[in-house]
Amino acid sequence: MPMDERTRADVERAEAAIVEHYPRLVRLAYLVLPPSMGRHRKVLTAHGLVQRALPRPGLRRPAGALPAQRGADAGSGYDLVRRRTLELALAYENRQGLAVLLPPVPFVWGLRLFPRAGGADELALDQALSAVPAPVRAALGLWHLEGLDAEVARAVLERAGVADPDAAQRAAGQLDRQTGARAGALLNSGEFDPCTVQARPTDLLRRRQRVRAVAVMAVVLAAGAVALALPGGAKGDRAATAAQQAQDPGRLLRTPNEQWAKTSRVDFTAWPPRGREAGNKELLARALRVWAAPPADARITTTPGTSTRPPAEPPRLLYAGLIDNVMVVVFHDGERLVRYAEPEGATPTLHFARVDNADLTSGAGLVIGRGNGWMRYLIAPWVSDVATRDLLAPDTPPHGLHLAPDGVTDRIATPPEMGGTCGHWPVAEFRSSPRIDDDRSFLVTDLGELAPVHLTYLPPPSAGGAGSGEATGPAALHSWARTACTLRSLRGTGVRSVNSWAYAQQTLPENAGTATWVCNRADTWRGPGRAMVQFQPPAGGPGDPGRITGRAVDTAVCSRFGRHVLSDVHWQAKSGKWYLLAAGSSQVGGIDVTGGVRATAEAPTLAVPAPKEAPAQVAGRLRDGGSLHALRP
């Protein structure tokens, strides 16, 4: 047999490496797989990819051998299966390759498997990992899970098919620094261990309605056999009992009233139950039954990326009471808000919203009631004051809002929807209690979902801005006044927060004043975000809108993991002359224009005469030697 082919002995060494280092390989695969898959699917897929990493006799061995830094525990067989595992996991990032065509094993029906939940640090790292591409997660895993140095990790990434391993390692280093060099310890915790899992049932009642009883029995038995083969699977036989207990109103979790002032986890888990009907077990039982098995005519709404599965264990009760002649119950199960509404004489409704990784601001309120042109908030116990203001009137002071003893606000006007005029944009201004915070204020707005959207602001470099801050100061309010109406395009997309970043200011030709370039970034609860760049010349009024010059979706642009941005626009001076303007963020050291216009600038801004319709390709040169292209509308 030629020496460049895998022999039977090579395959046997690879198999031995998989068996010996199986948990290590599965953890690496789990880290690299896209967070958008969900934890259950990631667990099963990670196991399947590692088991499929075993080569077949006859596969050509790669040129050269990769050095391993774990001594005797990682030989050439391990190098091979690690590379194969990375190749298969990376293929899932863009839904390409053979990895997405074949279902991985094991296959589990009727159970959902989750790694054990970690603390606030693990949750923060998981959210940060969801905002970076797979090669960056792979680089981080090779450093902290495999113990490789940068040079060896780069070689592994390159042979696994990563197009730009250097860029992946730079981004991984930036993420590592942002975690305070704790990423290694966190990645080795139970939060990221797909070999130690908890088992929970899927939608049991709906399955019974759709599948014959005998078939369901067979599937459950098969799922139980597979689950028991995995660590932690012994809990699967108690899953059905747990599901029944989750529908018992007497087992609902109830946080003590003052717990929010005594915990470092300030989110929905710190909310006490409120509302006059919080002790009405009949109402709570009805709400839990409808959640577990919604009637055929029930109205169910969800934010994108939110599951409607029944409760796997007793949820937390947040509210139960009468809101505008509608009986309302709100639960929180650790990952979701579930709002049950029972109109008199009408079919009940359920609204599901994903709120994992909520914090002091994003967990400060929820929409408890809604009508034609109005809504009400139920606010967190740590919010000491609520006011309303109009984003399109930045110089108008906020108006105080009455708050009921149970935390429900008076009615607030809802922002305009797409297709209509945009003459006002009401927002709520919350002030946190000095018992847990520095008595700060922050803005939230309603985009038609259960969880409001947190608005933040980052000033231009000339103002010395160093990080996202609250959008309550004069500069932030005037900036938001010119971009508020663009929020309408985000309605119903599961947005968690929107940051307005004034990334550049530019002196306009012909003494026309100073323009501001603003990048608005919307981050969703499920991870992916979108960015929009606006050119804002001097305005005649505080609410004059800017001009959209660039957009990007499913991107890290304008986030802490994508700090470089560049855009351009054709602009007409009062003289009637047209110019091509471009501006980049602070790390853009030069701009080059090709095509119908040719120009260059050794600065982060550029202004050159150019016909209105002249095509131009604008690119930026970064100070660290990299490059980027301008965002297009």
How confident is the model over 338-382, as pLDDT tens digits?
999 998 878 899 999 999 989 999 999 999 999 999 999 999 999
Model-wide pTM > 0.75? no
Q: Average pLDDT, stretch 425-436?
A: 93
Residue 155 belongs to a domain: yes
Reduced to 3 states, what is the DSSP secondary structure of residue 112? strand
The answer as to whether 410 is a domain residue is yes
How many Cβ atoms from other residues are within 10 Å of residue 507's Cβ? 11
- Predicted confidence band at 451 (pLDDT cuts at 50, 70, 90)? very high
pLDDT higher than 80, residue 211: no
Structure tokens at 529: 């975000």
Q: Does 398 sit behind a cis peptide bond, omega within 30 degrees of 0 on the bond before it? A: no
Residue 53 has pLDDT above 60, yes or no: yes
Domain count, the chain: 4
- Arithmetic mean of pLDDT, 43-59: 79
Q: Same domain, yes or no, for 57 and 29? A: yes
Rg (CA), the chain: 27
pLDDT at site 366: 98
Domain final residue, candidates 526, 548, 563: 563
Distance CA 307, CA 269 (A): 19
Q: What is the mean pLDDT of residues 254-262?
A: 92
- Confidence (pLDDT) at 621: 96
* Confidence (pLDDT) at 215: 46
Q: What share of the chain is helix, strand, coil (3-state, %, to 5)?
A: 30, 30, 40
Looking at the fold, whether 269 and 282 belong to one and the same domain comes out as: yes
% of the chain exceeding 70 in pLDDT:
84
My answer on whether 351 and 387 are in the same domain is no
Residue 614 lies in a domain: yes
Q: What percent of the chain has pLDDT over 90?
A: 51
**Residues 329, 284 contacting (CB under 8 angstroms):** yes
Same domain, 405 and 445: yes
| Higher per-residue pLDDT: 339 or 468 | 339
Residue 168, helix vs strand vs coil? helix
Per-residue exposure over 147-161, b if at least 16 CB sit within 10 Å of its own CB, e if not: ebeeebbbbbbebbe
The reply to whether 432 and 454 lie within a common domain is yes
Q: Is there a domain that residue 184 lies in?
A: yes
CA distance 131 to 137: 10
Residue 418 has pLDDT above 90, yes or no: no
Identify the domain boundary among 143, 165, 192.
192
Q: Is the pLDDT of residue 93 over 90?
A: no
Q: Give CA–CA dist 66/86, Å, rounded.
A: 14
Whether the per-residue pLDDT at 229 is higher than 70: the answer is no
- 434 compared with 200, residue with greater pLDDT: 434
Q: Indicate whether 227 belongs to any domain.
A: no
pLDDT for position 179 = 73
Of 318, 347, 341, the C-alpha closest to 330 is: 318
The span from the CA of 208 to the CA of 215, in Å, is 9
Say if residue 333 is in the same domain as residue 390.
Answer: no
Q: Which residues contact 52 (CB under 8 A, 6 or more apart)?
A: 84, 88, 102, 104
Q: What is the average per-residue pLDDT within 1-19?
A: 65
Q: Are residues 75 and 109 in the same domain?
A: yes
Backbone angles phi, psi at 416, to 5 degrees: -70, 150
Asked, for residue 338, whether it belongs to a domain, the answer is yes
- Alpha carbons 495 and 111: distance in angstroms, whole number: 29
Q: Are 610 and 580 in contact (CB under 8 A)?
A: yes
Residue partners of 119: CB distance under 8 A and separation at least 6 = 265
Structure tokens at 108: 């589990």
pLDDT tier, 282 (very low <50, low <70, confident <90, very high otherwise): very high
In this structure, are 483 and 626 located in the same domain?
Answer: no
Q: Are residue 307 and residue 162 in the same domain, yes or no?
A: no
Same domain, 412 and 492: yes
pLDDT at 90 over 60: yes
Strands 111-115 and 197-201, sheet pairing: antiparallel
Residue 98: give the domain boundaries: 8-192
Please state which of the ranges 69-73, 330-334, 460-464, 553-557 shows the lowest mean pLDDT: 69-73
**What confidence tier does 2 reach under pLDDT thresholds 50, 70, 90?**
very low
User: Long-range contacts of range 42-46, CB-CB < 8 Å, 24 or more positions apart?
Assistant: 42/194, 43/113, 43/114, 43/115, 43/194, 43/197, 44/104, 44/106, 44/107, 44/108, 44/113, 45/92, 45/104, 46/89, 46/194
Question: What span, in angstroms and rounded, lies between the C-alpha atoms of 21 and 420?
Answer: 60
Q: Which of 618, 607, 460 is nearest to 550 (CA)?
A: 618
Q: Which residues of 100-135 are buried (b: 16+ CB within 10 A; e: fewer)?
A: eeeebebebebbbbbbeebeebbbbbbbbbbbbbbb
* Residue 36: HSE in the Cβ half-sphere, 13 Å Cα cutoff: 15
Among candidate residues 150, 169, 192, the one where a domain is terminated: 192
239 inside domain: no
User: Which has the higher per-residue pLDDT, 210 or 191?
Assistant: 191
pLDDT of 616 higher than 90: yes
For residues 355, 357, 362, 365, the Cα torsion angle rounded to the nearest 10 degrees is 50
In a domain? residue 212: no
| 400 and 453 share one domain | yes
Q: Are residues 129 and 158 in the same domain?
A: yes
